[in-house]
């Protein structure tokens, strides 16, 4: 049985990485999405931002926030909160 990767599966995996404090794996999964031509949404990027902030890698979180803007996504309350947390950590 083969499953096609999609936003839901990647989103769940990245959220699990956030809660497990595996920020590098979260970023790796986010990068892997491009290989499978799965476009991340703002929820997935925000989860990856949270993983970086929780692990004190705030610069990566800020870079992900810039990716939201570059991808034409509108940052929401959660992404702004993650960005503010990243700024507070830095």
Q: How many CB atoms lie within 10 A of CB 31?
A: 11
Contact 18, 50 (CB under 8 A): yes
pLDDT tens, N- to C-terminus, the chain (90 residues) = 566 788 999 999 999 999 998 999 999 999 999 888 888 998 999 999 999 998 889 899 999 999 888 888 888 898 899 889 888 887
Cα(44)–Cα(35) distance, integer angstroms: 16
Angle 65-68-70 (CA atoms, 0-180°, nearest 5)?
110
Contact 48, 26 (CB under 8 A): yes
Structure confidence at residue 90 (pLDDT): 74
Structure confidence at residue 2 (pLDDT): 62
Cα(12)–Cα(33) distance, integer angstroms: 13
Find where tokens 């947390």 sit.
Answer: 85
């Amino acid at each position: 049985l083969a499953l096609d990767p999609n936003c839901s599966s990647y989103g769940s995996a990245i959220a699990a990485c956030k809660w497990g404090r595996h920020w590098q794996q979260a970023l790796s999964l986010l990068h892997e999405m491009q290989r499978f031509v799965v476009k991340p949404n703002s929820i997935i990027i925000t989860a990856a931002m949270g993983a970086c902030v929780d692990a004190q890698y705030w610069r990566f979180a800020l870079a992900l926030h810039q990716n939201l803007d570059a991808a034409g996504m509108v940052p929401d309350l959660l992404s702004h909160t993650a960005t503010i947390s990243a700024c507070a950590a830095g």
